[in-house]
Structure 1
Amino acid sequence: MADEEVMEPSFSGVVQAAQRLKSVMRETPLVRSEPLSQITGADVWLKLETASPIGSFKIRGAANALFKSKQFQKTKYAFAASSGNHGQGVALSAHRLGGTSCIFVPENPNLVKTAKMEILGAKVVEQGAGFDEAREAALEACKSAEGAYIDDCGDPEAINGAGTVGYEIGRELDNLDYVFVPMGGGCLLAGTALAIKAVHPKTKVIGVQSAQAPAMHLSFQAKKAIESKATTHSEALSLRIPPPLNLAQVLRYVDNTELVEDDDLLRAGKSMLLQGHQLAEPGSCAGLAALWRSRESLKGKTVVLVVSGANLDEPTMRMVMDSTLLF
């Protein structure tokens, strides 16, 4: 976690993060999708985090947290636990800021994603049967090395960094009715909603989660943390219990949350590729699945779909292509 005294995310923190990130990445494209607009009847825009340097929004939070970490500035050594995109974000950010990184992953990891972390300069350590064990090992190693531990669950600076997605959207569009955001641990949703509400208070921000991992949705409905099973094939949306800070921000800024079935995430991924002309992870296409389901009520509305990442492995790509189209 970034080690300055930041108690919770803020719009000023998002604006400051946007300035910092200029040295790490360019703003990602916000493009109008003519095919998806014609098909759904809405004015559909795609915020393409797939075009970030790691093909995911995760670089935003990782880089901002590293910028703010006094310990990283002192030792130039970053640690994290990750099964994919967050690890890549920490690896590339540490490298671009003149440091090194060590990423702990659970045993039997996704080899495509671990290879990407190594390409970006990280040392990858396999340890633990699951993420919790890998995280404990990473924290212990970080303490021994006096490094900086970068956590994407519950770090205010990670949320501020993720919030630059919403900040960029809000600055580019004058009229905006709905923003649909994929929802796993809630960092992207919390930050995006915070920034959107600061610029366009009347815009509705909707989080979309897999029905096979509904913890954040159930917690939003109950207004308290609810633990739930997570059997989804989408790593980006998998969560058993929401981080307290992320949930608090989601409850504060988000208008509603929805669930979509894993099969519909796969179908949305195929439709995004073949009809939206964009390659994305199935979980990153959660907003498209939700838009299609609610298309009648969204006709004529200006809708932004945050497409949060494009780090597919070959088996997932096969599942996407073997599925049917949404429409």
Structure 2
Amino acid sequence: MAARPVRLDDVRRAQRTLAGVAQRTALEPSRHLSRLVGAPVRLKCENLQRTGSFKVRGAYVRIAGLSAGERAAGVVAASTGNHGQGVALAASLLGVRATVFMPEEAQLPKLAATRGYGAQVRVCGQGLDEALAAAREYARAAGAVFIHPFDHPDVIAGQGTVGLEILEQCPRAGTVVMGVGGGGLVAGVAVAVKALRPDVRIVGVQAAGAAAYPPSLAAGHPVTVEAPVTMAEHPGGAAGELTFRIVEELVDEVRTVSEDELSSALLLCLERAKLVVEPAGASPVAALLADPAAFRDAAGGTGEGGEAGGGREGRPVVAVLSGGNVDALVLQRVLRHGMAAAGRYLSLRLLLTDRPGALAALLEVLSAAGANVVDVSHVRTDPRLGLTEAEVEVHLETAGPEHCAAVRAALRAAGYPVMS
């Protein structure tokens, strides 16, 4: 195997470079997740980092390492948001001109924030791959330095400073779980943590619709996922050459989560932890929610107090919330999706006798059951219906799965046939 491209000393140098630049983000306990997993769970809040994600760490270390001539030529990047903001701020702090290519699908707040940090933003392409190609071509033509979002030793080392902070803040950590895009964060954290504490389990998490690492690890080389589809920000569904080598060597497991699990995790972060987290940033929480036993087996213990014992038993699970940059409209849609996934929305189609007052009587039953009616659709003219029948579709807000079952039971008891 070729020499690993990043070592602990590189991460320590990056930490010194970032002194006074990157914030030492909080490590917050989560009682709810601790009860669920059966071991202490801590949330590493990189969503509260400058620019709203960990990306500024790697970007600053990369640009700070450029020669005077390279800095004078400027830097260029491609991003759907977080990497671009990190490059823009880092370049501004170092007095370097930055140009960031962003695809047409990029969220407007991320475009505005990238410009606000001082970068020139060029919008082009239908996706990140096209923006990346345009950025590389611009770098060649202008002689600027291309700042890769994850696949460069300096970027990986900068992201690895998250791992150093975790061990400083939580010396007895037993498992560290974080989202994986191209792999810069998980690779850097793995380098730092495994060098100092090889017994700590490192788990990466990817959205199933853009999961390049599981097939890459199975194949033994980077594999690209064609047309990745997920609500989570992703780097084109690809594993990096350098990051893949580190992940293959040092990361214990890469898991996948569904869109329902991502949206439920985002909702939990907002309601329980009072933290705004973007879908990709919530992926480690999604993994804990989807399979708490997998982390219980790794960590052992029974709650906040049990941090003693051998191996990883009773030691905390640290979940890295990697970013909090989410557009308000996207947040609204994701929260609605998360509420549906958590059983907080109920949609039903029912048959009524088509007579005056029938709909009002139905609404009285729903009100008595404590369901909040969001929307009602009343159909009388469908040829599938009898002359005296009407179909009603109702969308309800509920308190959860048990309440949904109670609402259905109340409708059945009142004699309403529920079609779906």
If the length of structure 1 is used for normalisation, what is the TM-score? 0.92
Structure 1 range deviating more: 241-250 or 220-229: 220-229
Verify the 8 A CA contact 1:171 1:199 in the aligned structure 2: no
Residue 389 of structure 2 corresponds to which residue in structure 1? none
Verify the 8 A CA contact 1:36 1:276 in the aligned structure 2: no
* 1:72–1:14 CA distance, 2 compared to 1 (3 A): farther
Residue 148 of structure 1 corresponds to which residue in structure 2? 145
Higher relative contact order (CA 8 A, sep 6+): 1
Residue 167 of structure 2 corresponds to which residue in structure 1? 170
Where 1:209 maps in the other structure, the secondary structure is strand
3, 8, 31: which one aligns with 2:5: 8
Residue 78 of structure 1 corresponds to which residue in structure 2? 75
Residue 314 of structure 1 corresponds to which residue in structure 2? 328
Unaligned runs of 5+ in 1: 1-5
Q: What is the rounded CA distance, in whole Å, between the counterparts of 1:38 and 1:74 in structure 2? A: 50
CA positional deviation for 1:166: 0.7
Verify the 8 A CA contact 2:4 2:245 in the aligned structure 1: no
Residue 304 of structure 1 corresponds to which residue in structure 2? 318
Where 1:252 maps in the other structure, the secondary structure is helix
State whether structure 2 residue 281 is matched by structure 1 residue 267: no
* 1:66–1:215 CA distance, 2 compared to 1 (3 A): same
Residue 231 of structure 2 corresponds to which residue in structure 1? 233
Verify the 8 A CA contact 1:266 1:282 in the aligned structure 2: yes
Where 1:64 maps in the other structure, the secondary structure is helix
Where 2:281 maps in the other structure, the secondary structure is helix
CA positional deviation for 1:129: 3.0
Which is greater in Rg?
Answer: 2
Q: Please give the residue correspondences for 1:56-95 in structure 2 after superposition, counting only pairs within 5 Å.
A: 56-70=53-67, 74-75=71-72, 77-95=74-92
Residue 375 of structure 2 corresponds to which residue in structure 1? none
Q: Please give the residue correspondences for 1:196-235 in structure 2 after superposition, counting only pairs within 5 Å.
A: 196-229=193-226, 230-235=228-233
Where 1:235 maps in the other structure, the secondary structure is coil
Structure 1 range deviating more: 295-304 or 306-315: 295-304
Q: What is the rounded CA distance, in whole Å, between the counterparts of 1:22 and 1:72 in structure 2? A: 24
Where 1:284 maps in the other structure, the secondary structure is coil
Residue 287 of structure 2 corresponds to which residue in structure 1? 290
Q: What is the rounded CA distance, in whole Å, between the counterparts of 2:202 and 2:56 in structure 1? A: 22
Letter matched to residue 287 of structure 1: P
Superposed CA RMSD in Å reads 2.0
Q: Deviations over 1:267-321 (max 9, x none)?
A: 0000111012211012211111211233235152410000000000123211232
Where 1:124 maps in the other structure, the secondary structure is strand
Q: Please give the residue correspondences for 1:125-140 in structure 2 after superposition, counting only pairs within 5 Å.
A: 125-140=122-137
116, 141, 155: which one aligns with 1:158: 155
If the length of structure 2 is used for normalisation, what is the TM-score? 0.72
Q: Deviations over 1:112-157 (max 9, x none)?
A: 1111101111110112333233223222322333322211231111
* 1:115–1:72 CA distance, 2 compared to 1 (3 A): farther
Unaligned runs of 5+ in 2: 302-313, 343-399, 401-420
Q: What is the rounded CA distance, in whole Å, between the counterparts of 1:213 and 1:140 in structure 2? A: 25
* Percentage identity across paired residues of the two chains: 34
Verify the 8 A CA contact 1:218 1:226 in the aligned structure 2: yes
Where 2:178 maps in the other structure, the secondary structure is strand
Aligned residues, how many? 321
Verify the 8 A CA contact 1:71 1:147 in the aligned structure 2: no
